[in-house]
């Protein structure tokens, strides 16, 4: 593939975007959502300081054979150019941090410097859509590796994602060997933290279905973060006080998620005083029953229902809800 790289002024690119001649979201592109605080403001500072940023990629779009005018597809660089356009137009979707002045408050020389900023644009020419899709995937190889692992948070860089990442780093999880090294490399610990946070704030949902909603909703600001972290840390401390043996099934991720969510609900939603000396024996005895087919009981027993919900489609909403209902009842009875 023969490509050419040229410099284009910000003003040229903004004009083409506003006229619809530069298409920022071709069908193959999956949007990486930047946060205002950590990504957009830092990027704008780079431009205002006249520092370079990596080249963007475009390809030929449709051509009007009567007028000779044509469009271009923005293959890579959507967030960067969209952020520049939001800044120039004063979009309400853009919230500035770090002392970045709005465009309207810049001095004339600063406005001129912004509009005259050179962007390196690599033109891929007229290329079939399948080839463009392949190019985009290769440019964003890391991002697509994460998408393939079904990690929704890889599309976001904001506050809720930061909560999930930092909560997953609690010593509690390492001390109890909840995640393997391979799972950590694949960000399954972060996925657990995000799922736990979203469930604690709402209710059980199917697999990862609600994660994107929470990552988007709390991308720029997560006002209940401190309270949620404090509450969940209290639950982790409570579980530590239970002195659960390493062989207990509570350390399996599906079981641990259920236990944390239900203990959190009892303590902070229903304002129940939890006593480790009463709840620990009840939980441990129940888990032992679940693991022993000889005493598990009939299919309709709580132990058998729990076992099935933990074994088959454990991340489906119905399975999560079944486990939650059983553990919730056990906590209420024991307490």
Sign of CA dihedral 166, 168, 173, 174: negative
Does the pLDDT of residue 121 top 90, yes or no? yes
Rounded mean pLDDT, 171-182: 94
* pLDDT tens-digit map of 281-321: 999 999 999 999 888 888 889 999 999 999 988 999 999 99
Does the pLDDT of residue 251 top 80, yes or no? yes
Contacts (Cβ under 8 Å, ≥6 apart) of 46: 53
pLDDT for the residue numbered 150: 40
Q: Using a cut of 0.95, tell me whether the model's pTM lies above it.
A: no
Q: What are phi and psi of 33, to 5 degrees?
A: -85, 115
pLDDT for the residue numbered 141: 61
* DSSP letters for 283-320: HHHHHHHHH-TTTS-STTSHHHHHHHHHHSSTTSHHHH
Note whether 321 and 204 are within 8 A (CB): yes
Task: Return the percentage of the chain with pLDDT > 70, whole number.
Answer: 92
Task: Return the percentage of the chain with pLDDT > 90, whole number.
Answer: 67
Q: Which two tokens stand for residue 63?
A: 């051509």
Does the pLDDT of residue 330 top 50, yes or no? yes
Q: Map out the domains of the chain as residue ranges.
A: 4-148, 152-334
| CA dist., res. 321 & res. 300, Å (int) | 16
What does each C-alpha distance from 306 to 141, 151, 280, 300 come to in angstroms? Answer: 40, 27, 18, 10
| CA dist., res. 317 & res. 280, Å (int) | 26
Give the model's confidence band at 144: pLDDT under 50 very low, under 70 low, under 90 confident, else very high: very low
Q: Which residue has 């970045």 as its token pair?
A: 100
Note whether 320 and 258 are within 8 A (CB): yes
Going by C-alpha positions, the residue among 319, 322, 245 that lies closest to residue 287 is: 245
| CA dist., res. 102 & res. 122, Å (int) | 29
Does the pLDDT of residue 2 top 60, yes or no? yes
Which stretches does DSSP call E strand in 50-145? 56-63, 70-76, 118-123
Q: How far is CA 93 from the centre of its chain?
A: 19
| CA dist., res. 290 & res. 190, Å (int) | 28
* pLDDT tens-digit map of 17-63: 999 999 987 665 555 567 877 789 999 999 999 999 989 999 998 88
| CA dist., res. 47 & res. 197, Å (int) | 36
* pLDDT tens-digit map of 4-15: 899 999 999 999
Give the model's confidence band at 223: pLDDT under 50 very low, under 70 low, under 90 confident, else very high: very high
Note whether 192 and 253 are within 8 A (CB): yes
pLDDT for the residue numbered 68: 83
Does the pLDDT of residue 136 top 90, yes or no? no
């Amino acid at each position: 593939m023969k490509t050419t790289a040229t410099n284009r002024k910000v003003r040229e690119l903004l004009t083409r975007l506003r006229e619809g001649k530069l298409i920022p979201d071709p069908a193959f592109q999956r949007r990486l959502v930047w946060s205002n605080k950590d990504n957009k403001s830092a990027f704008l500072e780079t431009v205002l300081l006249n520092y370079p940023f990596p080249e963007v990629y475009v390809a030929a779009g449709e051509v009007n054979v009567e007028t000779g005018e044509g469009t271009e597809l923005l293959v890579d660089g959507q967030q960067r150019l969209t952020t520049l356009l939001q800044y120039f137009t004063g979009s309400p979707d853009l919230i500035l941090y770090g002392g970045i002045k709005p465009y309207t408050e810049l001095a004339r020389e600063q406005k001129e410097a912004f509009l005259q900023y050179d962007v390196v644009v690599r033109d891929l020419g007229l290329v079939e859509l399948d080839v463009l899709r392949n190019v985009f995937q290769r440019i964003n190889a890391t991002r697509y590796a994460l998408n393939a692992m079904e990690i929704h948070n890889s599309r976001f860089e904001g506050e809720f994602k930061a909560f999930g990442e930092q909560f997953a780093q609690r010593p509690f999880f390492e001390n109890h060997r909840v995640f393997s090294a391979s799972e950590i490399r694949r960000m399954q610990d972060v996925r657990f933290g995000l799922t736990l946070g979203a469930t604690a704030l709402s209710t059980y949902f199917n697999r990862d279905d609600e994660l994107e909603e929470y990552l988007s909703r709390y991308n720029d600001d997560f006002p209940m973060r401190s309270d949620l972290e404090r509450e969940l840390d209290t639950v982790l401390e409570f579980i530590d006080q239970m002195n659960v043996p390493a062989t207990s099934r509570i350390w399996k991720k599906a079981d641990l998620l259920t236990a944390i969510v239900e203990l959190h609900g009892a303590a902070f939603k229903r304002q129940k005083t939890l006593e480790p000396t009463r709840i620990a024996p009840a939980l441990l005895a129940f888990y032992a029953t679940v693991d022993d087919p000889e005493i598990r009981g009939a299919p309709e027993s709580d132990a058998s229902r729990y076992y099935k919900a933990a074994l088959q489609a454990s991340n489906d909403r119905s399975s999560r809800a079944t486990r939650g209902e059983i553990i919730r009842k056990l906590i209420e009875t024991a307490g």
